[in-house]
Chain A
Amino acid sequence: MTLLTELTRRPLDPSYADAAARRAVEGDRRGAVSHGLAVLLAALLGVGVAAAALALRTPTAGDRQARALLEHQVLEKRDVVDALEASNARTASEVTALQESALRSSDPQLLDRTRPWAVASALAPVVGAGLRIVLTDAAGTADNPDDLDLRVQDVDLQVLVNGLWAAGAEAVAVNGQRVGPTTAIRSAGSAVLVDLVPLVGPYTVEVIGDAPELQTRLARSTAGQHMAMLHATYGIGVQTSSVAKMELPGSGSLVLREATVPDEALAAAGLADAPAAAGVRQSGADKEGDGS
């Protein structure tokens, strides 16, 4: 308790009183040198206090180091992801080439039948003429970064891409990401994801098909009205141009989720009524059920 009593009763340093008493008895005997030293010491203390206050206001070195480390790691991992994606695409194209060469020698008819499917399922890269539609965020986004209405959103891209399919598009890609039957266009925060890859604006929708036909049918559809509304109401840029030759990449490999043996193949193998065949199909159905 002595400490607390001392603190609250006599908060002032007792040496002030001592010094005052001594001065009253002996008088002030200090000369110019003493005063100079006092000023110097006081100035040094002032510099120290100012430096301490400034250092406390800026982020500490530890924070900066952690931030730099995280940035470094993010960039490093992004490089790894890029390398893996590239190797994935290489392997996928190798698989496609091997499949084609195998089929060409064994069953050329099947190859001819599967080729259009590879285009329709966005598996194979395609080259052709078509339209390029560029959607840009409205001019005011810099002033109102939180106003989502001024930005191109996932819904706008969904409407446009669906309208293009309805207008007879053969292949569609958004910013180089091929859109297939199972590709989702959605948003995470303010970023638009196409096939789970985050994209940033301006969004370039490239579509292969008969350009004049696509343009007229798109303009008549609700998607065309939506684009006109975006441009008129929110100032979002919509630029359409026809391109003589475009290359759209393939979307890599598809995951096999379901497989059945065709009836004619079973018949050809002489297994149409065999119990083993029923067993095979049964187990296939089971697997599908587990997977979903």
Chain B
Amino acid sequence: MIAILGLAIGVVVGLLVQPTVPAELQPYLPIAVVAALDALFGGLRALLDGIFDDRVFLTSFLSNVVVAAFIVFLGDQLGVGTQLSTAVVVVLGIRIFSNAASIRRHLFRA
């Protein structure tokens, strides 16, 4: 719970301060945001399942973002950056969809 509170505070601070992202990190931002979304949906589902855990949420969030960015970086170095990005988006997208379906079952019982 406390992790979600901290995340919300961080988002508000980020929107107010508007920090600039270094240009070298720019190519990894889209994938990192998708990975963050995946972690968010996973956390929401765990919350509804009653097994939410701050530590697991934060580690999955951080590792998702870092691994996604690293895969894109690796792909860029190997010359298959766009293909690997697509692969990451497909995998994370499927997970987001199944988690969203499960959240929907929890909320609307349908």
Contact = CB atoms under 8 A, between A and B. Distances in A.
A35 B45 CA distance: 21
B14 A39 contact: no
B62 A11 contact: no
Contacts of B102: 11-12
A51 interface: yes
Interface string B1-43: 0111111111111110111110100100110110010000010
B20 A49 contact: no
Nearest to A20: B51
A61 interface: yes
B7 A15 contact: no
Interface in A37-83: 38-56, 60-61
B15 A52 contact: no
Nearest to B46: A16
Given A49-B36, A56-B33, A12 B4 contact: no
Contacts of A19: 51, 53, 55-56
B52 A55 contact: no
B15 A35 contact: no
Given A8-B94, A38-B2, A53 B33 contact: yes
Given A38-B54, A42-B58, A48 B45 contact: no
Contacts of A51: 14, 18-21
A23 interface: yes
A56 B30 contact: yes
A147 interface: no
A7 B2 contact: no
A17 B20 contact: no
Contacts of B98: 7-8, 11
A180 B6 CA distance: 75
Contacts of B95: 7, 11
Interface of B: 2-15, 17-21, 23, 26, 29-30, 32-33, 36, 42, 45-46, 49-56, 58-62, 65, 91, 94-95, 98-99, 102
Closest 4 CB pairs of A and B: A46-B10, A50-B14, A42-B6, A43-B10
